[in-house]
Amino acid sequence: MAEPVARTESIRKVYGSTVALDDVHLRVEAGSVYGLVGPNGAGKSTLIGLVAGLRRPTAGSVHLGVQRRRMSVMPDTPRFDTWLTAAEVVDLARTMVAPELPASSVAEALAQAGLADVANRRVGGFSRGMLQRLGIAATIVSEPELLMFDEPASALDPLGRYEVLELIGRLAQRSTILFSSHILADVQRVCDTVGVLREGRLLYQGPLDTLLSERVQHVYVVRVREPVEPLAQALAGQPWVRETSPLGHGRLRIEVTSVAEAEARVAGVVDSVGARLISFEPEAADLESVFLELTSGERPA
């Protein structure tokens, strides 16, 4: 197996009497978009800071599969000297890391981050969202192999968030990306790998699809032309149905004991009560429900 771009071995970080991270084995594979999710105070920023070399572990170690200079990190609330222009900030990032890149890469990075129009404005007047975009531009200008974003879209409006996630999706074609977020929909939208942190422990790490499919419950949603009550009563009488609950607008949630029986028999039950079937599909597990399930339990041993 190829060496990961970033991994930690039994990493532990303690601040005074607070254990920020405990026995964390992070593994970020090359080419992946790794989403680090967790409640506030879970240790996401600390973990990114450790990988970036801005903090030192109390125990354990950090291993990078790329040169440190080929890695770039953006903090959650970027701040710059206010008297610099946006172009100067990005150019400083380029010159410090990759002076061999042409000066035109500064304008390209600013354009990608949506700041082309304000390239020559001083950053002192920038909004928090603009500063976050500027942080992204300064992070991507040197074309790093590993990009780390700490809450990259937290200060952005919905459109800005959409654009940043689109950008991250495009960047994933040439870089490995590790980003933290408490907005689970963002992670689900762009990540292929996810790590779930709670109270400094990594509760899950692996492909997002696997996480979601492993936790798919035996739940279906059937939609018929109303009224839905006859169908609900008929289904409730089936031995393979555990519970039914109406969702409104002709939709009915069915929790079953057997996926095979449900898939074989639901259509027959619909037919038996004369209902007109519009759709029948498994209820998709989303990251939010899985996250709540994972993080609502007792602290893991």
Partner 1 sequence: MTIWRLELIRLFRTLRWAGLLASYLAFGILGPLITRYQEEIFRSVGGGLTIQAPPPTPGLAFTAYLGNASQIGVIVTVFIAAGSLAFDAKPEWAAFLRTRARSLGDLVVPKVAVMTAAASASFALGTVAAWVGTTLLIDDVPAGAMLAGTLAWTLYLAFAVSVVALAAGLSRSVVGAAGLTVVVLLVLPVVAEVFPAVRQWAPSTLVGAIVEMVDGRSATDFARAAAVSVGLSAGALWGSMRLLARREV
Contact set for partner 1, span 139-198 (CB under 8 A): 142
Burial (Cβ within 10 Å: 0-12, 13-18, ≥19) of residue 148:
buried
Q: How far is the CB of 15 from partner 1 (least distance, A)?
A: 10
User: For residue 44, which of 193, 149, 126, 140 has the smallest C-alpha distance?
Assistant: 149
Write the binding mask 87 to 116 for partner 1: x where contact by CB under 8 A, - elsewhere.
Answer: -x--xxxxxxx-------------------
CA distances from 115 to 73, 87, 173, 289 (A): 19, 9, 22, 36
Give the nearer residue to partner 1 in terms of CB position, either 114 or 144: 144
Closest distance between partner 1 and the C-beta of residue 90, in Å?
9
Q: Are 12 and 59 in contact (CB under 8 A)?
A: yes
Q: Binding of partner 1 at residue 224 (CB under 8 A)?
A: no
> What token pair was written down for 189?
């939208």
Angle between helices 128-140 and 158-171 (to 10 degrees): 10
Per-residue contact flags (x/-) with partner 1 for residues 193 to 222, judged by CB under 8 A: ------------------------------
- CB contact at 8 A, 35 and 181: yes
Nearest approach in angstroms of CB 246 to partner 1 is: 50
Q: Which is nearer to partner 1, 53 or 300 (CB)?
A: 53
Rounded to 5°, angle at Cα 14 from 10 and 20: 80
Given a contact cutoff of 8 angstroms between Cβ atoms, the answer to whether 114 and 163 are in contact is yes
Question: CB of 92: closest distance to partner 1 in angstroms?
Answer: 4
Closer residue to partner 1, CB minimum distance, 124 or 300: 124
Looking at residue 161, its amino acid is: R
Neighbours of 95 (CB within 10 A): 14
77 phi-psi bin (left φ>0, alpha ψ -120 to 50, beta other): beta
Binding segment for partner 1 (CB under 8 A), chosen from 4-12, 53-61, 155-163, 222-230, is 53-61
Candidates 3, 10, 25, 54: give the one binding partner 1 (CB under 8 A): 54
Is 91 or 145 the residue whose CB approaches partner 1 more closely? 91
Q: Which stretch binds partner 1 (CB under 8 A): 20-28, 49-57, 167-175, 231-239?
A: 49-57
Residue from the set 42, 138, 187, 208 that interacts with partner 1 by CB under 8 A? 138
Binding site for partner 1 (CB under 8 A): 49, 52-56, 69, 71-73, 75, 77-81, 83-84, 88, 91-97, 138, 142
